[in-house]
Amino acid sequence: MSQTLHGAVGALTVASGLVAAPSDTTLLVEPWKGPHGGVPPFDQVVVAEFQPALEAAMSGYRTEVQTIADNPAGPTFENTLAALERCGRRLDRVRAVYGVWSSTMSTSEFQAVEREMEPRLAAFRDEIYQNERLFKRIEAVYQSPDKTKLTPEQQRLAWLLYTNFVRAGAKLDTSGKARVTAINQRLATLYTSFSQNLLADEEGYPTILTNVADLAGLPESFQAAAAAQAEARGLKGPWAVANTRSSVEPFLTYADRRDLRETVWRNFVSRGDHPGARDNKPLITEILKLRAERAKLLGYPTHAHWRLENSMAQTPERAMALIEAVWPPAIARVKEEVADMQKIADAQGTGIRIEPWDYRYYAEKVRKARYDLDENEIKPYLQLDRLREGMFWAAGRLYGFTFAPVTSVPVYHPDVRVWEVKAADGRHVALFYFDPYARTGKRSGAWMNAYRNQERFDHEITALISNNSNFMKGKAGEPVLVSWEDAKTLFHEFGHALHGLCSDVNYPSLSGTKVPRDYVELPSQINERWLATPEVLNRFALHYRTGQPMPPALVERIKKASRFNQGFATTEFLASALVDMKLHLAGEQAIDPAQFERDALGQARMPSEIVMRHRMPQFAHIFGNEGYSAGYYSYLWADTLTADAAEAFQEAGGLYDREVAARFRKCVLSAGNTVDPAAAYRQFRGRDAGIGALMRDRGFPERGVSQ
Ligand SMILES: [Zn+2]
């Protein structure tokens, strides 16, 4: 996932201090001190200061914007759009730190601040977008015949700002604007509650293991992590399985105890779905209704149409067409996978029928039987620290970056480490922050975040990029071993980081990962490919005891098994993408989430052995913020690009081909949103991406598919 801190309606995360800050500002508002243009004062954060800091920053921003709106001189690119890019730097700074606390350092004290401030931040965003004098100036610049004299990047910025304002309601009448603002504030509150409920359920339903028999089948490293988990949380049992993906998935893969697998599975898929004060279902109904109403007000048939307008897919119909093209081969493959698993279960005389809590467990058995591949054989070679060095190394080979650890930069938690990133010529590029481990107060999943984006229109400002994940920390002093899937996630998020690190643009609103959702996953998904290269594995997949590299025969078996279980992976993802899109095409009718989920999956003939990767009550991608709403398909869309781009490397002789890497960097990684993504991709590939490469990649038949 790529996360940006700016809000619902797009790029208003912009520029700097024209007006003196009010005297009551705190450390969070002031320009950051330290090396490389300043770094966030993470070590000096006092939660009680977030609210006054946000208030001071909003007030400063308001004054800056009013100065632009009231400028007696006629509107020009410089005095309006460039000036706007300079505004709001204080708010950017506070929100960068506030966002870290929200996603990784959440406490009840902080959550109270969030509940207070989220609707106020939403209202503030609307206040800017609905500033009529400001919008008139932007419109004048955008529609001026002089626009053609601007650089292509400036023209793109003019288009983007104008479009963002219009899409946020700048052309509505007074009552329409007031209603949009009211909706956005209510949505901000609902998103906050949804996320906080989910976090509470992830922390609230650990499965306690009480005796050694409960551990049957679990790898030693998992047992150690489960013991650490129980101890850290002061739980009664000697071992605990946290109710988060990073603990649940390995448990479901290895635990021999079917009854415990079912318990763990049920806890996990019930997150946000427990009746009572933390039930996310009523929130979903209200969120969907408000989104549908807002879309109508803004002149779109549905929320999906509004959201997809500036995406690569452009329309929900095109996104749905892709989902529907891949769905039939995916569920057909699931049938084959289930049959293979059932055979093993039958041969063992278990008398069971494969259920969702069996899928990962028996898939692992099939993999072992068919490819002689056992996750436990791979894992000792996958040390987190080594793999991290491996992803740095690959980025060095491809893009010339070097990474040197820095200890003088403040961090918010002792687990966080920082590296200085330099270009091949020694020039400072960015700082890279890495926050690897799960802990209380940190949300599930993995994501990239930019504390500061690269820009250069006034002077060069370098990026501060972070990767965040939820690896299970082992015992002190022991290497952290991760699964193959976790290793891919590590490389995935680093792909987003590279998108931020390679950014080479003038204006901050166009920088780095500020591109459409269905394009932003291209750099991340393609970066996963370098993990599986012999160049990385031979150097960095070293056995934690012997230091020996992964044997070539094992590398070969991993390669052979790469299309294994694609039915499961594709179907669990697509089910979520499908439901997300259908929900946001449904219009203003009141939706009962449980009913809708059942009906949508029933119609699609969802295999009963699989659940959605994110069931609705825990689908934070679409209900924790606007983020991926009507946009979860993006991963698949970007994967068509990814598979096709990977073939470009293969056609040229491999993933380390310098010429293709340079072209990928120039056309995709460096360009940010300065170029329309479809055009940027065409520039890289010489043509559009079809669906063929994706189908080949997943081992699905290609016949009869067009995009
Ligand atoms: Zn991602």
pLDDT in tens, 294-348: 999 999 999 999 999 999 999 999 999 999 999 999 999 999 999 999 999 999 9
Q: 69 C-alpha vs ligand 1 centroid, how far in Å?
A: 37
Q: 83 C-alpha vs ligand 1 centroid, how far in Å?
A: 32
Q: What is the pLDDT of residue 1?
A: 56
Q: 537 C-alpha vs ligand 1 centroid, how far in Å?
A: 22
Buried b (16+ CB within 10 A) or exposed e, 349-360: eeeeebebbbbb
How far, in Å, CA of 559 to CA of 439, rounded? 33
Q: What is the pLDDT of residue 39?
A: 97
Q: 494 C-alpha vs ligand 1 centroid, how far in Å?
A: 9
Q: How far is CA 232 from the centre of its chain?
A: 28
Q: 538 C-alpha vs ligand 1 centroid, how far in Å?
A: 26
Q: What is the pLDDT of residue 689?
A: 94
pLDDT in tens, 190-222: 999 999 999 999 999 999 999 999 999 998 888
10 Å CB burial of residue 171 (0-12, 13-18, 19+) is: middle
Q: Please give the full DSSP string across 146-178, using - where no structure is assigned.
A: GGGGS-HHHHHHHHHHHHHHHHTTTTS-HHHHH
Write phi, then psi, for 430 (nearest 5 degrees). Answer: -175, 170
Is 493 marked active-site?
A: yes
Q: What is the pLDDT of residue 318?
A: 96
Q: 205 C-alpha vs ligand 1 centroid, how far in Å?
A: 27
Q: 521 C-alpha vs ligand 1 centroid, how far in Å?
A: 5
Segments of the chain scoring below 50 in pLDDT: 3-24, 704-707
Select which of 493, 521, 528, 597 is catalytic: 493
Q: 307 C-alpha vs ligand 1 centroid, how far in Å?
A: 18
How far, in Å, CA of 84 to CA of 141, rounded? 13
Residue matched to tokens 């039915």: 567
How far, in Å, CA of 674 to CA of 420, rounded? 26
pTM of the predicted protein model: 0.90
Q: 489 C-alpha vs ligand 1 centroid, how far in Å?
A: 9
